[in-house]
Amino acid sequence: MIVLHSGQVSKLGRRWQKGRPIPNDVRLKIIEMAAEGYGVADISNELKITKECVRSIIEVRIAVFTVTILLLYDTKFSRQ
């Protein structure tokens, strides 16, 4: 028996391996779709990733963006 792909297949039909992160191109696609107004369920179904994973990636990106804005704001106005 020859196994072509290692890992498992999720309920949504996507191959995954335990402990392996979602590829960056897929993460960017999640962020792009969220910015275009797609809902978590729509993104999940389109990319075959769980809703929990999609939600987590969006939350992290929002947190990073917020911190970045706050740091830029603080740097800009602390010099005055």
Residues above pLDDT 90, as percent of the chain: 35
The owner of tokens 């389109």 is 46
Domains by residue range for the chain, with CATH: 8-78 (1.10.10.10)
- The mean per-residue pLDDT over the stretch 38-60 comes to 92
- Whether the CA torsion 59, 45, 34, 24 is positive or negative: it is positive
pLDDT band at 1 (very low <50, low <70, confident <90, very high): very low
pTM: 0.65
